[in-house]
Structure 1
Amino acid sequence: MTDTLPTTTSPTQSTGKLLTALIVGGITAIFDTTIVAIGLHTLTERLDAPISTIQWVSTGYLLALAVAIPFVSWAQEKFGGKRLWLFALGLFVLGSILCACAWNAESLIAFRIVQGLGGGIMFPLMQTLAMQNVAPTAMARTMAVVGLPIALGPILGPVLGGIVLHWLDWQWLFLINVPLGVAGLILAAIVINADHPHRGTTSQRLDLAGAALLVPALAGLLYGLSNVHAEGGLSRIDVFLPCVAGVVLLVAFVGWAIRRAGTALIDVRLLAQRSVRASSITLSFLGATLFASTFLLPLYFQSLRGADVLTAAVLLIPQGVGTLLARLIAGKLVDALGARLVAVVGFLIIAAATIPFALADANASVWLLGITLFIRGFGLGVVLIPVMTVAYIDIRKDQMPHASAITRIVQQLGGAFGTALVAVVLSAITAQADAQSGFQTTFWWTIAITIAAAIASLLLPSREKNQ
C-alpha cells in the first residue's frame, strides 16, 4: 500500500462546505437505523404480517449495513471518495422510495436491504472524507461536527419515528429521507472535490477470499445476536450456531488479513497502533451502552408507564437536546483536556444519569427523568468525539478508510451485543418477578456496561499524546 492515495484530491477543499454536504446526506441513513424500530408494530398491522417476519425490516437493514462496510476501503481507492459517496447516497434514496412503494412485508424487507447497502457505505466513508481533509489539530472539532448525526441517530430516531407515525402513515418513515437525500446529492456533486484515481493507475484487487470470510462472519454474529430477544434466548439454535460460526470466521479473517498485509479487505494490522486499538475497544463498549439504552428507554416509557408511541417519543427529546448541546463544547474540551479525561468523565456522567432509571418505579417524576435524560444525553454527546477522533491521530491518510471500517464494525458489534444482553436480562427478570423489577435490574446492567466503557477509555492517549 502506498503512502498516499492515487487521487486528484485538491488541497483547497473547503472543510465547512464538505462537512455540510456530508451531514445533509448522511443524517438520513444514520437516523434510519433506529427510526423504523418504533414502527414495527404498526407495520405488522398495515402489511398483515407476523412480527417474526416484520422484524426482518430492521434486521435485514442492519445486516446489509454491516456487510457493506468492509468493501468501502477498497471501493474508495478504486473509484474515489466523491463517486462512492454519490453512489451510496443515491442508492439509499432509491431504497427509501422503493420502501415507501412496498406492497407487502417481503418487498419491504428487500428494499430495506437496498437501503442498508447504501447506508453501510456512507457511515465509514463519511468519517474518512472528513478526517482526510482536515489538519491533525482540527480533528476533534471536525469530529464534533461530523459525529453529530452519528450520536443523535440512535437517540432521536425513535422520537422522529413516533412523531411521524402519530400524524402520517407508515410510508413516511421512508419518504422523509428523500428531500434531504436529494439535497445531499446536489450539495455533494457541487461541493466535494473530485478525487478519482488517475488514469493508468493500478488499483488494488478486491480481496475476495477475505470477503468470503468477513462478510458471513459479520452476518452470522449480528443475525445470532438479533435473535437473542426471542423465547429461549442464548440456548436457541439460531443464536448459538450463527454466533459460533461468526466468531470462527472472524478469527480466520484476522489470520488471513495479517498474512495479506496491506492488500487485505481491511488492514487489521492497524490494531497494532495504540490509537486505533484503544479507539476500537472503547467504541465497542460505547456501542453497547448507546444501543442498549436505545432499546430500553422507549420500552420503559411504553411498557411500564403506559405511554403511547408519541408520548414516549416526546419524553425522549431531552436526551437528544443534551447530546446536541454537548457538541458545541466537546471538541474544545478534547483539545484542552485530552481524549482520555473527557471520555472517562463523559462515561461516568452517563452512568450516573442512568441510576435514577434503575431506582424508578412506574410513578417516578417525569420531570426528574427528563432532567436525567438531558444530563445523560450530554454525556453521550461528549464521549463520542474523543473516542472516534483518537483512531486517526497517528495514521496516514491512506490508512484512514481502514480505520473507519474497523471502528464502525466494532461499534456495530458492540451495539448488537449490548442490545442482546439487556434483552435477555429484561426477559429473564420479568418472567420471574414483574416488569418494574425487570427494568430496574436491566438498567443496572446498562450502568455496568457504561462503567466498563469508562475503564476501557483509560486506554486512550492522554492529553500529551493527543497533541
Structure 2
Amino acid sequence: MAVDTAAPTERKRWLALYTLCAGTLIIVLDGSVVTVALPTIGRELDFTQSNLAWLVNAYMIAFGGLLLLSDRLGDLLGRRRMFLAGIALFTAASLLCGLAGSQELLIAGRFVQGVGGAMASAVTLGMIVTMFQEPREQAKSIGIFSFVAAAGGSIGVIAGGVLTEAAGWNSIFFINVPIGAVILFAAARLFEPDQGLGFGTGADLLGAFLVTSGLMLLVYAINGIESESPGSVRTLGYGALALVLLTGFVLRQAKAGTPLLPLRIFHSRHLSGSNAVMLLFVAGLFGFQFLLALYLQSVAGYSSLKTGVAYLPGPIVIAVISLGCSAKLITRFGPRAVLLVGMVFTTVALALLGRLPADASYAVDILPSVLLLGVGAGLALPALIGLAMSGATPADSGLASGLVNTTQQIGGALGVATLAALAANRTGTLLGDGEHPAQAATSGYHVAFIVAAGLELLGILLAAVVLRAPKASGAEDSADVAPDDAAPADASDRAWQRRADVG
C-alpha cells in the first residue's frame, strides 16, 4: 500500500488534516444543502415533484456507487492524486449546477458532483489514519473528521436556508467554487506525493463493474421507494438485480488474484461489526436530518432560513463533543463504551420526536431532541469510525476507509428513502380517512421517527453483542485482526486505553 505522507512536520500534518476535512465538509453538506432549496428550484425550473427528487437521487447514486471503485483507483494511482482530481471535478460540477438553466443540465451536474465527491471521499479517511498513527493523535484526528461527517448534514440544511433566501438557489452551488479552489491550492502544497501501485498490479475490472453497477442500482431502487411502493415491480426488480450483481461481486472477490475488496478484511470482528452498526446508526441519523426539515416546512410553516436556524444547535453541540472531549473519553473508557452511550442519546432523541404535536413548540418539543442528537452523534461517530479503522491493518486502511464511506452512504440512502416512504404511506392513509392534513402529516412523521429510534436501538444491541471479542483466550477472529479483537470482552476497551497511554 502506498504511503500518503513522508514524515511531514507536525504543523503541516495538522494543516493537511484540516484541508482533508474541508474537502469532506463541502461534499457531505452538498448532500443536504439542496433539501431546503428544492421548493425554490422546483418553481423556477418547473420541476415536477418526481423529477425534483432526482436532484437528490442523482447525487446519491453516483456517490454511493463509486466509492469502492474510487478507493481502489486511489491505491493504483495515488491517494493524493485521487483527492485532487475528485475536488477539482466536484468544484467544476458545482459551477455547472449554478449556471444550469434547465432540469436536464442541473440533474447531470448533480450526478457529476457525486462522482467527484466519491473520488475525494473514498481516500480521505485512509489518508488521515496513515498520517496519524500514534493512538492519541489518531483519536483526536478521527474526532475532528467525525465532527465534519456528523455535523455536515445539519450544516448543509443551515447553509441551504441562508443562501437560498439571501442570494437564490444558484448560490448553494456557486459557494463551492471558491472553497474548492482554496482546498485544491492547500492540498497541492500540503500533501506529500505518494506513489500508487500502478495498473500493472491488477485492477479487477470485472469486480469494479459488478460492485459499481450493483451499488448504483441498489441506491436507485432504495430512492424509488418514496415514489413507488416497496412491493412494486420496479422496486423489487431493480433491487433483485442489484443483489445479483453484488452477490457476483462477492464471488468474484473470493477468486480474483487482485480483488477490489479482499474478503479477508471482514475477518476482523471490529471492522465487520462496526460497519453493520454504522449502517443502522446513519439510517436513523440521516432520516432525522431529512424528515425534521420536511416537518418544519410542511407542518410548522417554517421558512428556509428559519429551518436552517432551527438546526443550528445540533452542529454546535457536535463540535463541542467531538472536538472537545470525544477523544479523551475514548482513550479513558474505550470506543465501545462511548459508542453505546452515544447511541442511547440518539435513540432517546428520535423517540421524543415520535410524539411531536402538529403545533409543536420549538423550545419544548424540538430543541431537546436536536441537542440530544448532537451529543449522541458527537460521541458515537468518532468511536464507531475508530473501531472500524482499528480492525484493519495499515496496508488495508484505504480499503477500510472506502468501506466505511460506502456503508455511510448506503445506510443514509436506505434510511432516508425508507423512513420517508413510511411517513408518506401513513399520511396518505389518514388523509383518505378524512384526517386534517397537518395532523395526518404529523402522524406520518411520528411513524418514521419511531422506526428511526428502533434502528438505533437495534444498533445498540448489535454493538453490545458483536463488538465483544470472544472470552476464550485462544479464540481469535483471525490471524490478521487487531490485537484488541482477541482480548476478553471487558478487556477490549482497556486494551485500547493502554495503547493510547503509550508514549
**Cα pair 2:139 2:330 within 8 Å, conserved:** yes
Is 1:132 equivalent to 2:139 in the alignment? Answer: no
Superposition pairs for residues 209-228 of structure 1, below 5 Å? 209-228=206-225
Give the match for residue 15 of structure 1: 13
Counterpart CA distance in 1 for 2:200 and 2:274 is 29
Output the amino acid matched with 2:451: W
The RMSD of aligned alpha carbons is: 1.8
Once the two structures are TM-superposed, the CA of residue 11 in structure 1 deviates from its matched residue by 2.1
Counterpart CA distance in 2 for 1:159 and 1:212 is 37
Output the amino acid matched with 2:146: G
**Cα pair 1:74 1:204 within 8 Å, conserved:** no
Work out which of the residue numbers 24, 27, 34 in structure 1 matches 2:25.
27
Output the amino acid matched with 1:185: L
TM-score by length of 2: 0.87
Render the CA deviation track for 1:251-297: whole Å, top value 9, x for unaligned.
Answer: 11111112226x11222321111121111111111121111112211
- Change over 3 Å in CA distance of 1:165–1:143 after alignment to 2: same
Counterpart CA distance in 2 for 1:202 and 1:209 is 14
Superposition pairs for residues 18-417 of structure 1, below 5 Å? 18-137=16-135, 138-197=137-196, 203-230=200-227, 232-260=228-256, 263-327=258-322, 328-368=324-364, 369-417=366-414
Name structure 1 gaps, 5 residues minimum.
none
- Say which is worse superposed, 454-463 or 157-166, in terms of deviation: 454-463
Name structure 2 gaps, 5 residues minimum.
431-439, 469-491
**Cα pair 1:21 1:192 within 8 Å, conserved:** no
Work out which of the residue numbers 451, 455, 471 in structure 2 matches 1:449.
455
Output the amino acid matched with 2:264: R
SS at match of 1:91: helix
Output the amino acid matched with 2:423: L
Which 4+ runs in 1 deviate beyond 3 A? Answer: none
SS at match of 2:414: helix
- Say which is worse superposed, 303-312 or 247-256, in terms of deviation: 303-312
Counterpart CA distance in 1 for 2:54 and 2:423 is 22
Is 1:432 equivalent to 2:438 in the alignment? Answer: no
Counterpart CA distance in 2 for 1:78 and 1:449 is 37
Once the two structures are TM-superposed, the CA of residue 445 in structure 1 deviates from its matched residue by 1.1
**Cα pair 1:156 1:317 within 8 Å, conserved:** yes
Once the two structures are TM-superposed, the CA of residue 224 in structure 1 deviates from its matched residue by 0.6
Q: Percent identity?
A: 25
Counterpart CA distance in 2 for 1:246 and 1:202 is 27
TM-score by length of 1: 0.94
**Cα pair 2:98 2:171 within 8 Å, conserved:** yes
SS at match of 1:388: helix
Once the two structures are TM-superposed, the CA of residue 308 in structure 1 deviates from its matched residue by 2.1
Once the two structures are TM-superposed, the CA of residue 442 in structure 1 deviates from its matched residue by 2.0
Counterpart CA distance in 2 for 1:224 and 1:119 is 21
Give the match for residue 494 of structure 2: 464
**Cα pair 2:90 2:117 within 8 Å, conserved:** yes
- Say which is worse superposed, 53-62 or 363-372, in terms of deviation: 363-372
**Cα pair 2:47 2:103 within 8 Å, conserved:** yes
Counterpart CA distance in 2 for 1:197 and 1:435 is 52
Give the total of aligned pairs: 459
Counterpart CA distance in 1 for 2:22 and 2:189 is 13
Once the two structures are TM-superposed, the CA of residue 92 in structure 1 deviates from its matched residue by 0.8
Counterpart CA distance in 2 for 1:216 and 1:416 is 16
Once the two structures are TM-superposed, the CA of residue 60 in structure 1 deviates from its matched residue by 0.9
SS at match of 1:49: coil
Counterpart CA distance in 1 for 2:27 and 2:71 is 19
- Change over 3 Å in CA distance of 1:234–1:197 after alignment to 2: closer
Counterpart CA distance in 2 for 1:445 and 1:8 is 41
Give the match for residue 483 of structure 2: none
Output the amino acid matched with 1:278: G
Once the two structures are TM-superposed, the CA of residue 399 in structure 1 deviates from its matched residue by 0.8
Output the amino acid matched with 1:305: A
